[in-house]
Amino acid sequence: MSTTAPRELRLEDVDLADHDNFVAAVPHEMFALLRREDPVYFQHEPDGPGFWCITRYDDISAVHRDWETFSSELGGTSLQDLEPEHIEARKSMIDMDPPRHNQLRALVNKGFTPRAVKAYEEKIRELIRGILDDALPLGELDFVEKVASELPMRVFAEMLGAPQEDRRYIVELGDKLLGNTDPEFADPEELERHRHLPFSSPVALEMFEYGRKLADERRRHPQDDIITKLVQATVDGEPLTQREFDVYFILLATAGNETTRHTISSGLLALIEFPEQLERLRREPDLYATAAEEMLRWATPVHHFRRTATKDVQFGGKLIRRGDKVTTWFTSGNRDEEYFVGGDQFDVSRAPNPHMTFGPGGVHFCLGAHLARLEVRIVFEELVPRLRSVELAGRSDRLRSNFFNGIKRLPVRVTL
């Protein structure tokens, strides 16, 4: 019987445009090859102009720090090729450059500082205890549905000032928006017809409507929450326009939920796959903070963001032309051998851990980073001591997306 060794991966096998390559697992071997052999790689697209893929840590940082050359505003931050009027109609601050970006970010920034977020610590602990009390006695459960998706939404409903009973509704809308390349959540023809909306999704209209209802309510009864801040805000003496409010609301309601959820799911999956790390965490509870950072690195829920070159520029030995799409792959930066020793290993004690899961720095660095860190740490501080054992009870199911590293379902069996 003859056995043929699997052929070594070559550059011509790399395809980061194909969402299918992200379904079974993150194609880490493609990223390792690119970092080694072609760190500023041009990816052809079947139905687009193609895009540059920046895969080394230092290069990703350089792109994000130079917003004048690599703009978020010129073409937006998603890979889609949109007409200027569509970009304009749907852009929130994440798709803007300074100075407008900074003015809009300043409206809510204070609510997300380490100190502001710390005030939620006890609330978060109380919420997660309640969630675990309900979920774990089931014995066998979908961890995504029962735990990971619950906490971020409950915390955010609290900060946003949305009624807790609406949280499932907001989660479902968010799933449909962010899963827009997965047939389980979206229909490609619908997306084509709604290019003027965030995520090209008609679901954005429902989300707008929900945000407007909350805003009306807060205009009548102001509270100490983010919606009230947005309805009372002025920029250059003017209140936000309806469109500015709508897209701001969608950004806030989506940016923190799925990302934090996927980190929590992926964190548990890592503890199941690396049982010695789970044991270590049990033995050394001082490690929860470094474990949370490692889960964030390991999960990297946002694979990449896009920028657009504002001029011709030589970068990493390649000529990037004005108007070219440039993608920065945090997934790859987070395993860059120059920064992470044994990056393919999950290590709850990893320190230092300069991951770029929230972006590599620069004006768009994740607004919710402190909040997400806190949530992830507290979930595992509360979860691990309760578990006598945990194992997979079926196959975990991944999102079809080269943008979002999502786990849709994670069936587990636990004993307490």
**Residue 6 CB coordination number (10 Å):** 5
Q: Which two tokens stand for residue 205?
A: 């209209």
Q: What is the 3-state secondary structure (H, E, C) of 45-98?
A: ECCEEEEEEECCHHHHHHHHHCCCCEECCCCCCCCCCCCHHHHHHHCCHHHCCC
In angstroms, rounded to a whole number, what is the distance separating the alpha carbons of residues 170 and 210?
9
Instruction: Tell me whether residue 289 or residue 366 sits nearer to ligand HEM (CB atom).
Output: 366
Q: How far is the CB of 101 from ligand HEM (least distance, A)?
A: 6
Q: Strand pairing of 140-142 and 411-415? A: antiparallel
Q: From the CB of 315, what's the least distance to ligand HEM, in Å? A: 17
**Which lies closer to ligand HEM via its Cβ, residue 357 or residue 402?**
357
Find, among 323, 241, 377, the residue nearest to 49 by Cα. 323
CB nearer to ligand HEM: give 307 or 400: 307
For residue 90, the minimal CB distance to ligand HEM (Å) is 14
Tell me whether residue 151 or residue 186 sits nearer to ligand HEM (CB atom).
151
Rounded to whole angstroms, how far apart are CA atoms 331 and 300? 6
Q: Which is nearer to ligand HEM, 93 or 203 (CB)?
A: 93
**Rounded least distance, CB 226 to ligand HEM, Å:** 8
d(CA 213, CA 236): 25
Judged by beta carbon, residue 121 or residue 133, the one nearer ligand HEM is 121
Please report how close the Cβ of residue 406 comes to ligand HEM at its closest, in angstroms: 11
298: tokens are 């390991």
Angle at alpha carbon of residue 19, lines to 398 and 146, rounded to 5°: 20
**Minimum distance from residue 1 beta carbon to ligand HEM (Å):** 47
Q: Which residues lie near ligand HEM (CB under 6 A)?
A: 64, 93-94, 105, 251-252, 255-256, 259-260, 263, 296, 301-302, 305, 357-359, 362, 364-368, 371-372
Contact 208, 246 (CB under 8 A): yes
- Using CB atoms, what's the residue nearest to ligand HEM? 368
